[in-house]
Amino acid sequence: MPVLRIAAFSDGNTGGNPAGVWIGDDLPAASKMQAMAADVGFSETAFAAPEGSAWRVRYFSPLCEVPFCGHATIALGAALALQHGDRTFELKLARADISVAGRRGGETIAAALQSPPTRSAPIDRLLQADLLQLLDYSIDDLDLNIPPARIHGGADHVVLALKTRSALARMSYDLKLGRELMEKAGLVTVALVTVESPQLFHVRNAFAVGGVLEDPATGAAAAAFAGYLRDLGWPHGGVINIVQGEDMGMRSLIRAEIGEISGSSIRVSGTARIMSEA
C-alpha cells in the first residue's frame, strides 16, 4: 500500500504537521516500518491494520518507535475517513486503547482523537536545570504561573512556560545533545509555551529523540498539556487553543477540550489536508 502524506492540524489549506500514513491488511515487521518511516522523513509515520472491529496502530519517527503520536493519529483519522466514510474508529496502541473520528468536508478533513489518560508531576530539578542549559534559558525566563512539569498523555513530555513570545521565538539547541538528554530522561518532546490568554497558547516542541529539531504541531503534547492545566486548576473554561509552527513558517492550530475529571482523556481536534501519496 502507498504511504499517504497528510498535514495534520493545518490552518485551512496551509500549514500543519506532515505525517505519513500507511494502512494495510497486516502490519509489516518493525524493521520494515522503521525503514519506511525513515524514507518518508516526516517526524512520524502511522501504520495501521484491522484487528477485529478496531485498528492496530504503531508510530515510527525516522529514528525510533514512539508510543503515541497525536498529529499522526489525526492524519490517520483523515485517511480512514477517506477510505471508510465519516465515523469514529477505535484504535489499539501499544499502551492504550483510544479512538479517532474523521469527517470529510471540501478540501480538508476534520478529525478528532480521544487521547490516552493524562497525568502530571513536578519536574526533577536536575532535569529542569539540564533542559534550561540545553535550551539556553534561565529561571528568569520562566512563567511560574505554569510551573515546569513532567506531563503525560500517551507519552512523556516536559512543559516549560516562558514569560514572553520573544523568548519562545529564540528557541534553539544542539540536536545531538538534546537527543541524548531526552533519551536519558525518557521524554518524547519538550514543550515550550507562552500564554496569550487563559484559553490561547503559543507553543514550540523540541523533538530531538525523533531526529527532528522541532515539530510544527504535537497533538500528544497538547493533550498532556491540557491535562496538566486541568490538574493545576487553570481557568481553561473547558477548551484551550494552541498555535504552533509559526516560527517554522508552518502555522498549525490545535484545539483541546478539557473535562473535569483529573486523569481522564482529552479530546484533541483539528483539520487535515491531503498532500500526496508516495
* Residues with catalytic function: 44
Query: What grid cell was written down for 120?
Result: 502530571
End-to-end, the C-alpha distance of the chain in Å comes to 9
Phi first, then psi: what are they for 198, rounded to 5°?
-55, -20
Cell matching residue 181: 538528554
Name the nearest CA neighbour of 209 among 190, 191, 188, 194: 188
